[in-house]
Chains A and B, each alone.
Chain A
Amino acid sequence: MSVTTPDSVVGSFTAEVFDAHLASVAHLPAWWLDRKREAWARFCALPLPKRTDEAWRFATLTGLKLDGYALPAPVTAAGLGHTPIGIAKAGRLVFANNRLVASDPVAAALAERGVIFETLQNALRKHGDLVKSHLLAQPATLGAEKFSALHTALLDDGAFIFLPKGVEIADPLAVFHYAAGAGAAVFPHTLVIAEQDTRATIVDFFRSADAGAHFACGRNDLYASHGAQLTYVAAQTWSRETLSFQSNSTVARRDARVLSLNLHLGGRQSRHESHSQLQAPGAHSEMLALTVAHGAQEFDQRTRQIHQAPHTSSNLLYKNALLGRSKTIFSGLIVVDPDAQKTDAYQSNRNLMLSDDAEANSLPGLEIQANDVRCSHGATSSRIDPEQEFYLQARGIAKDAADELLTFGFFEEVLSKLGHEPLHDALRDLVKAKFQAQPAAAAPSPA
């Protein structure tokens, strides 16, 4: 495969596209428009990733061309073929092609206590200061700076969630982000601000309404204040032709606990960056991901666990199952700042190789600048354990069924950490659906 340089560093996203977009959001606060202009300049100035960029090592750069996409026309909820996920929700927002198309607000009692669950555009107008201090406040530093700048420049609308002090919400808040129509470029965003001692579960669903080649460039910011307990789930089932970038930023303050679980199933080439900052003692971040890659899919996951204060902990478990000619990249880094003594950090990447043509790349890294820490990592790549397979076969379970059981057992370790049964079942169903939809056993799929 030859590496060809895309013709232009901006592709379809020309100045005209940006100007038209800016005009369409002219009613939003001036500070936000200024930020968008700055981001636009940054996007234009930054080069596309090069082969020598360490942050893009092993990635297929030819797949990153930005040509052939456009800001899509609005669609209605009826045209999406929206399928419910079958769980009770505390609230729901459905975005399609960057605009809200349906919503179920949170219960009046929650709204009275100050819970905000609405669009980012509304929040920008009504709660400007709150949004200003948290929206895209953490820089993207894992390699996709260019795409993060594009996201800021063209971000139209997204979800805004504010949890005031002491609020606990049992059922998940769900946000759906759809891309519809060939070449649709979407910029999903979810901003969560959890004040002191709050507790909530937020689920982002990334979906394609059709099999078109979409472009998704999303970000989500999670801010967990003192003692907040947040569970964040992102389930990505973009179309098989979608190019997707998703960047996650988590900030955990004193005694905050954030669990994030990313389920990666769709897309042609998907890059996911996840960046956790443990900023005060007692903060904990649980970073989980589950990927089922088949056909010629490529999943590129880059993570950073940054321990900025003493007595913080993080635990990362990224599992990939590889079928067909798929490729996965896991590149993680645990960073322990000089004064972050008593850090306890773990990072684990497990690749289950289910095909002879699949490729798993692992780059588990550590940068430790304090001595009184417990940091370790592990990375493995291997097929199903033949002994386990034999054990099940010896008990009368056919090989295919045994393999399926063992593969689901492999996923279960991640899903079971969720501690929310209906959501756990819904995610397992998504994985199952992907598994059953995979192209016939060993035959490599035609892209």
Chain B
Amino acid sequence: MANLPATAPVPASPADTAENPLSGIDQAAGNFSYKMDYEFDAGTGLSEKTVRYISAVKKEAPWILEFRLNALKTFLAKPMPTHWATKDLENIDFDKIRYYLSSGQKPKRTWDEVPDDIKKTFERLGVPEHERKFLAGVEAQFDSEAAYSNIKEAVSKQGVIFVNSTEGLREHPDLFRQFFGKVIPTGDNKFSALNSAVFSGGSFIYVPKGVKVAMPLQAYFRINAENFGQFERTLIIADEGAEVTYMEGCTAPKFSTSTLHSAVVELVALKGAKIQYITVQNWANNVFNLVTKRGVAHEDAEIKWIDCNIGSRLTMKYPGVVLKGRRARGEVISIALANDGQHQDTGAKMIHAADETTSNIVAKSISVGQGRSTYRGVVHIPKHLKGCKNNTECDALLINTNSRTDTYPAITSRGEGNSTQHEASVSKVSEEQIFYMQQRGLTEGQAMSLSVNGFINDLARQFPMEYSVELKRLIDLEMEGSVG
């Protein structure tokens, strides 16, 4: 079935859209879609033909096609990782997914050129408005390809490259090819192989030596079509001493069938560089969100993942940092909110590969109703390293009696010169706190929201202000009706 979704946009609740320019992370606000006539459609199901079609449409160099075809073989050969992961993965029907849908491969540089329905989509999500306000560059991906991509002139004059994956590999092959697929090899896992076979869209960014990009670069990923699979590929290279912040947001309409999102994100921070990668994931809760994200931090470099997962049916995502150079630093700040029918299986990976490297993981999850949140992590400090340190903290908050949380860390430490510490706790909202607030005139619901916001407050503050305000609002919304 390849029926396109209904034409009429689903009316959003009055509270969002206009008054709330950042309502992009409110689930209801993303729940609309437009009927599109896609010019390019790879059809339903996955075969060598699909891969060849995607590659041909993109007019790719032969080595990329070869890379894709090898990846397809790897994908088909690898079993589903259900020996440790949830059996829900077996519900993905790879034969029913549409792997490539677009209306052209070249993104527009101004919003005026963007086709009306697509432009309306992003306007409803507030993307152009953010761009004017506080972003250095924006890429807006609609299904398989970027509909819009632009970088402020001042930033591009510094030599910063911000393009999509197709353009990046075509126009800057020398720059991107040397890192492409190196941080996350095709065979890393089944879904990184799938992405390598059918990837389309995503951002390729290069920040030259010493350049500090003052404002964040942003990508917005939008799924519009039903039964669709989005497979963006992002590669960010910060050259020596460079600094960049990248933010991504995403939404999709809620369909009764499942949608697949499987991205690969590779970060390379060369000597002394800093990369901060912020994700606010708010897919509709029919989306399988299976993403592989990893960065390599060279000497004195720093990579920080700020990862917030609110949407999707099942998210499996463990942003990682390979600490390759001396004194490199890796950090993962993770917030997950699992509501009814959702499983947020998130965490972090820290692979120490040089002396005096440090890593920090702080994860907080909230399970509401029958939601399930899982922390899964790896910390690895191999032999003969000195002065490596890891700190991991996981806190879970359970709202209802039948909410569920799991914690599965794996910590390997070799040698006496290193130290690791891991702590986790599970709790519920304190009855005394709620009582205290009710005494002072708050309703139970308000008290609950305040308490939950307090739980994540120290992490939410690390988000850009616009996001952290929205995060709070969103938690208030999600908490509605969860009490009593």
B287 to chain A, nearest CB (A): 25
Given contacts A54-B83, A375-B425, A378-B421, contact A362 B411 (CB under 8 A): yes
Given contacts A371-B403, A380-B421, contact A366 B426 (CB under 8 A): yes
B: contact size bracket? 35 or more
B398 nearest in chain A by CB position: A371
27 A-B pairs in the complex with CB atoms less than 8 angstroms apart:
A52-B83, A338-B401, A338-B402, A341-B401, A353-B413, A353-B415, A353-B418, A354-B416, A356-B384, A356-B417, A359-B412, A359-B413, A360-B414, A361-B411, A361-B412, A362-B410, A362-B411, A365-B407, A367-B404, A367-B406, A371-B401, A373-B426, A377-B422, A381-B411, A381-B413, A381-B419, A382-B421
CA A364 to CA B410, docked complex, whole Å: 7
Q: Give CA–CA (A359, B412) in the complex, Å.
A: 7
What's the Cα separation between A369 and B415 when bound, in Å? 37
Q: Does B420 lie within 8 Å of A364, measured CB to CB?
A: no
Q: Mark B46-89, 1 if CB is under 8 A from A, else 0.
A: 00000000000000000000000000000000000001100000
Closest B residue to A52 by beta carbon equals B83
**Is A82's CB within 8 Å of the partner chain B?**
no
What residues of chain B lie closer than 8 Å to A363, measured between beta carbons?
408-411
Distance (Å) between the CB of B289 and the closest chain A CB?
A: 22
For residues 62 through 98 of chain A, which have their beta carbon under 8 Å from a beta carbon of chain B? none
Given the known interface contacts A354-B416, A371-B428, A377-B423, the answer about A361 and B404 at a Cβ–Cβ threshold of 8 Å is no
A368 to B400: give the CA distance in the assembly, Å. Answer: 12
Kindly list chain B residues whose C-beta atoms are within 8 Å of the C-beta of A357. Answer: 383, 414-415
A383 interfacial by beta-carbon distance below 8 Å: yes
The chain B residue with its CB closest to the CB of A348 is: B423
Bound CA–CA A377/B384 (angstroms): 28
Q: Are A379 and B411 in contact (CB under 8 A)?
A: yes
Within B411-449, the residues touching A (CB, 8 Å) are 411-428
Interface flags for A310-350 (1: CB within 8 Å of B; 0: not) read 00000000000000000000000000001001000000000
Q: Which residues of chain A are within 8 angstroms of B426 by Cβ–Cβ distance?
A: 366, 368, 373-376
Chain A's nearest CB lies how many Å from the CB of B117?
Answer: 44
A358: Cβ under 8 A from any B Cβ: yes
Task: Decide if B415 touches A358 in the complex (CB within 8 Å).
Answer: yes
Cβ of B405 within 8 Å of any chain A Cβ, yes or no, is yes
Report chain A residues within 8 Å CB of B414. Answer: 356-360
- Contact status B411-A366, CB under 8 Å: no
Which residues from chain A contact B407 at a C-beta distance below 8 Å? 364-366, 377
> What is the bound-complex CA distance between A359 and B409, given in angstroms?
16
Report if B399 contacts A (CB, 8 A). Answer: yes
Quote the shortest CB–CB distance from A320 to chain B (angstroms).
11
Decide yes or no: A365 and B416 within 8 Å by CB, A371-B428, A375-B425 being known contacts. no
Q: Are B396 and A368 in contact (CB under 8 A)?
A: yes
Contact A57 B410 (CB under 8 A): yes
A380 CA / B421 CA spacing, docked (Å): 4
- The minimal Cβ–Cβ distance linking B452 to chain A, given in whole angstroms, is 13
Among B84, B398, B411, contact of A54 (Cβ-Cβ < 8 Å): B84
In the assembled complex, the CB of A339 is this many whole angstroms from the nearest CB of chain B, namely 8
A103 within 8 A of B: no
Contact at B423–A378, with CB atoms within 8 Å?
Answer: yes
Asked whether, in the complex, the Cβ of A366 is within 8 Å of the Cβ of B419, the reply is no
Restricting to B373-410, which residues have a CB under 8 Å from any CB of A? 383-384, 396, 398-410
| A44 within 8 Å of B (CB atoms) | no
Q: Whole-angstrom distance between the alpha carbons of A380 and B406 in the complex? A: 19
Contact B409 A365 (CB under 8 A): yes
CB distance from B436 to the nearest CB of A (A): 18
Q: Please, how many angstroms separate the alpha-carbon atoms of A382 and B414 in the complex?
A: 9
Residue from A338, A355, A356, A381 having most chain B Cβ neighbours under 10 A:
A381
Q: Decide: A379 near B417, CB < 8 A? Known: A362-B410, A370-B401.
A: no
Separation of A44 and B423 alpha carbons in the complex (Å): 41
Could you tell me the distance in whole angstroms from the C-beta of A143 to the nearest C-beta in chain B? 12
The answer to whether B422 touches A364, judged by C-beta atoms less than 8 angstroms apart, is: yes
Bound form: Cα–Cα A380–B409 in Å: 12
Whether a CB of chain B sits under 8 angstroms from the CB of A58 is yes
Closest to B81 in A: A52
Indicate whether A236 reaches chain B with its CB closer than 8 angstroms: no
Q: Which residue of B lies closest to A359 (CB)?
A: B414
Nearest-CB residue, chain A, relative to B374 = A367
How far, in whole Å, are A380 and B291 apart by their CA atoms in the complex?
A: 29
What A residues does B421 contact at CB under 8 A?
378-380, 382
Contacts of A365 in B (CB 8 A): 406-409
On whether the beta carbons of B383 and A382 are closer than 8 Å, the reply is: no
How far, in whole Å, are A382 and B413 apart by their CA atoms in the complex? 9
Given contact pairs A368-B426, A374-B427, A379 touches B409 in the complex (Cβ within 8 A): yes
Residue numbers in A under 8 Å from B415 (CB-CB): 353, 355-358
What residue of chain B has the Cβ atom nearest to residue A367's Cβ? Answer: B406
Q: Which residues of B contact A381 (CB under 8 A)?
A: 411, 413, 418-420
In the complex formed, the residue of A with least CB distance to B420 is A381
Q: Which 10 A-B pairs have the closest CB atoms?
A: A371-B398, A382-B419, A376-B425, A381-B413, A383-B416, A366-B407, A353-B416, A375-B426, A362-B411, A379-B422
Kindly state the separation between the CA atoms of A439 and B22 in the bound complex, as whole angstroms: 65
Q: Is the CB of A368 within 8 A of B416?
A: no
Is A351 part of the contact surface with B, judged by Cβ < 8 Å? yes
Find chain B residues with CB under 8 A from A375 CB. 425-426
| Identity of the chain B residue whose Cβ is nearest the Cβ of A335 in the assembled complex | B406
Once the chains are docked, how many angstroms separate the CA of A351 from the CA of B396?
25
> Interface code A2-32, partner B: CB below 8 Å = 1, 0 otherwise?
0000000000000000000000000000000
Indicate which residue in B84, B400, B412, B416 contacts A58 across the interface (CB closer than 8 Å): B412
Q: A358-B416, A361-B413, A381-B418 are in contact. List 9 more A-B contacts (CB 8 A).
A: A356-B414, A362-B410, A362-B412, A365-B408, A369-B404, A378-B423, A379-B422, A381-B413, A381-B420
Docked CA distance A373–B428 (Å): 7
B337 to chain A, nearest CB (A): 15
Query: CA A341 – CA B402 in complex, angstroms?
Result: 10
Contact of B419 among A355, A356, A383 (CB under 8 A): A383
Residue A412 is within 8 A (CB to CB) of chain B in the complex? no
Choose from A52, A57, A351, A368 the contact partner of B404 (Cβ within 8 Å): A368
Residue of B nearest to A374 (CB): B427
**Whole-angstrom CA separation of A57 from B411 in the bound complex:** 11
Minimum CB distance partner of A336 in chain B: B426
A104 within 8 A of partner (CB): no
Are B399 and A371 interface neighbours, CB within 8 A? Answer: yes
B residues near A372, Cβ cutoff 8 Å: 401, 428
Q: How far is the CB of B201 from chain A (nearest CB, A)?
A: 33
Given the complex, which residues of B lie within 8 Å of A378, measured CB to CB?
421-424
Contacts of A413 in B (CB 8 A): none
A44 to B420, CA, bound (A): 41
- Tell me if A53 is interfacial: C-beta within 8 Å of chain B: yes
- The docked-state distance in angstroms from the alpha carbon of A351 to that of B413 is 9
**Bound CA span A341–B414, Å:** 38
Q: Determine whether the beta carbon of B411 is less than 8 Å from that of A368.
A: no
A341 CA / B419 CA spacing, docked (Å): 35
**Docked CA distance A356–B411 (Å):** 17
A358 CA to B384 CA in the complex, in Å? 10
Closest approach, in angstroms, between the C-beta of A182 and any C-beta of chain B?
33
Does B412 lie within 8 Å of A376, measured CB to CB?
Answer: no
A356: chain B residues at CB < 8 Å are 383-384, 414-417
A381–B411 alpha-carbon span in the complex (Å): 9
Chain A residues contacting B383 (CB-CB under 8 Å) are 356-357, 359
CA distance A376 to B425 in the complex (A): 4
Please measure, in the bound complex, the distance between the C-alpha atom of A362 and the C-alpha atom of B411, giving whole angstroms. 5
- Bound-complex Cα distance A374 to B403 (A): 14
Within 8 Å by CB of B416, from A355, A361, A371, lies A355
Which B residues touch A377, using CB under 8 A? 407, 422-424
Chain A residues closer than 8 Å to B418, beta-carbon distance: 353, 381-382
User: A86 vs B383: C-alpha distance in the bound complex, in angstroms?
Assistant: 42
Cα-based distance from A303 to B166 in the complex (angstroms): 50
Min CB distance, A407 to chain B, in Å? 12
B405 CB contacts on chain A under 8 angstroms: 366, 368
